[in-house]
């Protein structure tokens, strides 16, 4: 193991607090949505800070930011670290950002130590890990894994009807060149992402570092239920076709399936976004649009739940006389972390006298897609009360610093393999 300086909790706090000033909802949590002026300004800040740390910065065709600390043998496949700086609506200040600043601090520590590393180290800000603007998650890493083409960027629209393709072009990115950023196996030697846990297992076990063994993957649907809009008082209970009560029944079925119809303990099922039309207290809803998010660490278990859900939805459609359309948004594959990286993280913990917790990530991360072309690992740091995607999200800066020490050791070890 290497003797590296310790990560500075104060420096990490400074970066995180400054990134958090780029926020469209300072009155209630943090909102920083992909390619809004606020997010673009935050990107500029992170790029400047990467340069201050001594990294050579560039962006690719979809806006993934790379800060490179060149190795002594730069032709070798590099080692990656990083995360994201976009957020869900009314989020916290750590989900994603902790991994970006930890990567920058790890690179700073390695550079300051003067210890040579053969492979280059890249600190990455992945474009839009969250699906907030275009309804699809992990746009940057998904593209690098070969799952998003220029045509796909023309089909993805935000709430105002603007396509991702238009937005990319307006900002000077190059959607016509997405194919050129697709990575092949062997292009990246290893990738390690630090992230807040977003669950309470670290806190419950009293441990400060988690070593992730596998990442659950999402399947997402957009559902439209069409009933008949009509008068709340004039339409008898027998005559109505209420899109909202049908949608409610689907939500309850989904919850029940998430609780019971699976072989894996990591199944989750969520309706998170709902639009009721016309959304008036005295009208029977004629249309409801909502999201379904199903996660699992086992693809087979997820597939079997989806089959049961589809059968249940057809039964609700027949029973209630409404029309239900299911549009598949994404069906992603869970992944296991690489054993060499998992043991390198464990050795780093041992050298730093940290007793880590082996764990599984219920949340997805860009590592899910990076794992399709590179060996991956993840380091978790605790989330207070297990809360995330909320203004209540909190992680102690000292815990991020501890995780960053583990990250720096791990990156340096991998960069010299
Ligand atoms: C990512 O933020 C997720 O929803 O898991
Ligand atoms: Mn998130
Ligand atoms: Mn995240």
> Separation of 34 CA from ligand 3 center, angstroms?
13
Which residues have CB atoms below 5 A from the ion given as ligand 2?
A: 95
> Separation of 146 CA from ligand 1 center, angstroms?
20
For residue 389, give the ligand 1 atom closest to its CA.
Answer: 2
C-beta separation of 306 from 239 below 8 A: no
Ligand 1 neighbourhood includes 363 CB (under 6 angstroms): yes
Distance in angstroms (rounded) separating the CA atoms of residues 153 and 150: 5
For residue 88, give the ligand 1 atom closest to its CA.
Answer: 2
Average pLDDT of every residue of the chain: 97
Distance in angstroms (rounded) separating the CA atoms of residues 221 and 302: 13
> Separation of 387 CA from ligand 3 center, angstroms?
13
Distance in angstroms (rounded) separating the CA atoms of residues 84 and 101: 10
Query: Residue 264: what pLDDT?
Result: 80
> Separation of 363 CA from ligand 1 center, angstroms?
5
For residue 96, give the ligand 1 atom closest to its CA.
Answer: 2
User: Which parts of the chain sit beneath pLDDT 70?
Assistant: 262
Distance in angstroms (rounded) separating the CA atoms of residues 27 and 150: 37
Ligand 1 neighbourhood includes 173 CB (under 6 angstroms): no
Query: Residue 323: what pLDDT?
Result: 98
C-beta separation of 59 from 65 below 8 A: yes
């Amino acid at each position: 193991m290497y003797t590296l300086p310790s990560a500075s909790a104060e420096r990490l706090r400074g970066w995180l607090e400054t990134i958090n000033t780029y926020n469209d909802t300072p009155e209630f949590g943090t909102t920083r949505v992909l390619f809004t002026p606020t997010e673009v300004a935050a990107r500029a800040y992170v790029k400047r800070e990467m340069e201050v740390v001594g990294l050579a910065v560039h962006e690719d065709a979809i806006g993934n930011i790379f800060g490179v600390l060149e190795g002594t043998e730069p032709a070798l496949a590099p080692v990656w670290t990083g995360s994201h700086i976009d957020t869900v609506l009314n989020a916290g200040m750590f989900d994603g950002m902790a991994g970006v600043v930890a990567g920058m601090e790890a690179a700073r520590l390695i550079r300051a130590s003067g210890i040579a590393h053969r492979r280059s180290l890249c600190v990455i800000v992945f474009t839009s890990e969250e699906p907030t603007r275009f309804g699809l998650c992990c746009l940057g890493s998904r593209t690098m894994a070969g799952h998003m083409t220029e045509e796909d960027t023309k089909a993805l629209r935000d709430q105002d009807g603007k396509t991702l393709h238009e937005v990319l072009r307006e900002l000077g990115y190059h959607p016509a060149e997405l194919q050129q950023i697709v990575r092949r196996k062997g292009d990246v030697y290893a990738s390690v992402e630090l992230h807040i846990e977003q669950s309470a297992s670290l806190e419950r076990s009293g441990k400060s570092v988690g070593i992730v063994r596998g990442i659950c993957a999402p399947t997402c649907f957009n559902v439209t239920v069409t009933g008949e809009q009509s008068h709340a008082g004039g339409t008898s209970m027998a005559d109505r076709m209420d899109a909202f009560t049908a949608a409610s029944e689907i939500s309850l079925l989904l919850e029940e399936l998430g609780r019971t119809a699976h072989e894996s303990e990591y199944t989750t099922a969520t309706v998170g976004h709902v639009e009721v039309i016309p959304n008036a207290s005295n009208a029977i809803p004629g249309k409801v649009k909502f999201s379904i998010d199903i996660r699992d660490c086992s693809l087979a278990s997820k597939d079997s739940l989806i089959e049961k859900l589809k059968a249940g939805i057809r039964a609700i459609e027949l029973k209630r006389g409404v029309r239900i359309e299911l549009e598949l948004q994404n069906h992603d594959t869970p992944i296991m972390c690489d054993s060499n990286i998992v043991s390198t993280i464990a050795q780093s913990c041992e050298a730093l006298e940290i007793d880590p917790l082996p764990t599984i990530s219920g949340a997805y991360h860009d590592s899910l897609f990076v794992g399709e072309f590179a060996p991956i690992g993840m380091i978790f740091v605790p989330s207070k009360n297990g809360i995330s995607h909320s203004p209540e999200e909190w992680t102690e800066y000292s815990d991020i610093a501890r995780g960053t020490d583990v990250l720096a050791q791990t990156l340096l070890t991998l960069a010299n393999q």
